[in-house]
Amino acid sequence: MKEDLSYIRENWEKVREKIEKVASRVGRDAKEIKVVAVAKGVSSSYIKEAFLAGIKIIGENRVQEAEKKIKELSNLPIEWHMVGHLQTNKAKKAVKLFSLIHSLDKFSLAYELNKEGEKLGRKIKVLIQFNTSGESSKFGFKEDEFFKNLDIIMNLKYIDILGLMTIGPLTTDKNLIRLAFKRLYKLREKLIEETKWELPYLSMGMSEDFPIAIEEGANLLRLGRIIFLKDFEVRI
């Protein structure tokens, strides 16, 4: 029997309403806030349902899993983003599958992406992932490590850096979460000052903490469970 997936549309409507409410509360235009629906572990039929409900960008965190679904859904004009940690040996595949990689988290990966971009004769669009929480389990550059070696990144001609990404700390303490997002916002300002890059995107906020991310300036939200799970409950 075919599963009833109409709840995905309802989830999406609720998410849109929440985004609009929070945005207007802090004087932002909700139209400037894009949602990446993170579909890891979710099969193609769910993604199709989300697309039909109006979601345009799908995020994945495994190259192999994404490859299969991108093939299955090749008839739909979905924009695919890589949001999870990318191993350097998967860079070659990733640049062909994704229009934006949110997770440039190591210099070795930057070299690899640059190399693949050069081969293809085009710039690879990326966001720089920072570890803003200090949690050792999280990927991402540490601030000082990154800025000390900024010239490495600046010399790579085949990567196009469009902004910054972070994953909020795993906690129910809203102040700690907010601090991490504020840190990313400030890192963007500092990086713009040093490089004159534009950096239009701030990718932060997931199912449980996206309202805080909106308040702190996010314009790419990465939402998984709140869209794809039935009866998802926010705990913070």
Ligand X SMILES: *Cc1c(COP(=O)(O)O)cnc(C)c1O
Q: Which residues bind ligand X (CB under 6 A)?
A: 38, 40, 61, 83-84, 167, 206-208, 222-226
Which H or E run contains 79?
Answer: strand 79-82
Give the residue with the Cβ less far from ligand X, 18 or 225.
Answer: 225
Give the residue with the Cβ less far from ligand X, 14 or 122.
Answer: 14
Distance CA 137, CA 212 (A): 22
| Nearest distance in Å: CB 186, ligand X | 21
| Nearest distance in Å: CB 117, ligand X | 22
| Nearest distance in Å: CB 167, ligand X | 6
Q: Decide: 201 and 219 in contact? Cβ < 8 Å.
A: yes
Give the residue with the Cβ less far from ligand X, 105 or 116.
Answer: 105
The burial class, CB within 10 Å (0-12 / 13-18 / 19+), for 173 is exposed
Give the residue with the Cβ less far from ligand X, 40 or 92.
Answer: 40
Give the residue with the Cβ less far from ligand X, 9 or 40.
Answer: 40
Distance CA 42, CA 35 (A): 17
Beta bridge partners of 160: 125
Give the residue with the Cβ less far from ligand X, 50 or 115.
Answer: 50
Nearest residue (beta carbon) to ligand X: 224
Distance CA 185, CA 164 (A): 9
- Give the number of other CB atoms < 10 A from CB of residue 197: 15
Give the residue with the Cβ less far from ligand X, 131 or 207.
Answer: 207
Residue 115 makes CB contacts below 8 A (sequence gap 6+) with 91, 158
| Nearest distance in Å: CB 86, ligand X | 11
Say which residue the tokens 């700690």 belong to.
Answer: 176
Distance CA 122, CA 179 (A): 36
| Nearest distance in Å: CB 49, ligand X | 17
| Nearest distance in Å: CB 139, ligand X | 9
| Nearest distance in Å: CB 55, ligand X | 13
Q: Decide: 140 and 180 in contact? Cβ < 8 Å.
A: no
